Amino acid sequence: MPAGPDASPLSGISAFPELLAQALSSRFKTNNIQEEKHMKNLISTLVVSTLFAVSVNADHRLSDLRLRTYDKRPVSVSLNERLYQSAGNALLIEAIQPGRHHLKVWTFRHHPHHYMGERVLLYNGIIDVPASSEVRAMITRDRRLRINEIIPLFAPAPFDPYYGPYPVPAPVPAPGPWGTLPLCMQDAEFDALLSTLQQQGFESTRMTIARQAIRQHGAVSTAQVADLMNLMSFESSRLELAKFAYAYCIDPGRYFQLYNEFSFDSSVQELSAYIDRHS
């Protein structure tokens, strides 16, 4: 309706918001289905774009290092001149760039003038760290660095441009000729075994307990056999244990790594011949 002669010049402007609201309301009512569909498509696009950006930009190359000594003594570690101190039997260093790093490892022995004990250098050398992995390493009895296991930390999920990333089902162990292969002892159980062996004063007792534990559990890894061998003082005992454990090993393809645990070539040759006869 036109404004009367007495109407204020601003009355038309003040009525504009109400007219605009009515027009928008009418438009939304007539196009409700189309607008709702458009908004859903827009939100889906934004969500997929965000997930894709996070997936692309996240840094999954960093790795972790879990380090201990063969007898699980407290250690002090320098990685690229940065110091770390273990609070227990093992030391975990997280978020390591992949590549070659300078590693030093010390332990402590009692000293009358040092509260923490005298620091003793166990290892000074290089460690190669792969990308996106947990590296489990150990300083052996003869002060060498041994990589026991490398565990992948990240496997990128398949990406669907319409639905985004979706979970990948966990791999199922392939059954062997006698069914699914048994799992080796878990860390806590194996640590308890090592602690029990360390408390025994006679090597014959340690050997009996080690053989009994392997037989009862029914499965052991190469890395675990190496740890058990490190608790034996005599070369003959280490060779005997390696032969016995071979029948229970879940990764016999790595058994050659045990050759590093011997001091004499004759022991290496004897274990190698034993493996050939029983493979």
**pLDDT score at 180:** 44
Over residues 133-190, the pLDDT tens digits come to: 888 888 888 888 888 778 887 655 444 444 444 444 444 444 433 344 457 788 888 9
**pLDDT score at 173:** 43
**pLDDT score at 42:** 58
* Region for residue 161 given its phi and psi (left: phi exceeds 0; alpha: psi -120 to 50; beta: otherwise): alpha
Task: State the pLDDT confidence band at 234, using cuts at 50, 70 and 90.
Answer: very high
**pLDDT score at 170:** 43
> What percent of the chain clears pLDDT 90, i.e. is strictly above it?
28
SS (H, E, C) the chain: CCCCCCCCCCHHHHCHHHHHHHHHHHHHHHCHHHHHHHHHHHHHHHHHHHHHHHHHHCCCCCEEEEEEECCCCCEEEEECCEEEECCCCCEEEEEECCEEEEEEEEEEEEECCEEEEEEEEEEEEEEEECCCEEEEEEECCCCCEEEEEEEECCCCCCEECCCEECCCCCCCCCEEECEECCCCCCHHHHHHHHHHHHCCCCHHHHHHHHHHHHHHHCCECHHHHHHHHHCCCCHHHHHHHHHHHHCCECCHHHHHHHHHHCCCHHHHHHHHHHHHHHC
Task: State the pLDDT confidence band at 26, using cuts at 50, 70 and 90.
Answer: low
> What percent of the chain clears pLDDT 70, i.e. is strictly above it?
65
**pLDDT score at 208:** 94
Residue 113 has pLDDT above 70, yes or no: no
Over residues 29-82, the pLDDT tens digits come to: 545 566 666 665 656 655 555 555 444 444 568 889 989 888 778 888 999 999
CA distances to 51, 52, 157, 169 from 45, in Å: 10, 11, 19, 26
Token digits for 36?
């709702």
Tokens 């940065």, located at residue = 82
For the chain, list the domains and their CATH numbers: 63-154 (2.60.40), 178-278 (no CATH)
Which of 13-27, 30-44, 100-114, 131-145 shows the lowest mean pLDDT across its residues?
Answer: 13-27
Residue 25 has pLDDT above 70, yes or no: no
* Mean pLDDT (whole number) for 232-250: 93
**pLDDT score at 70:** 81
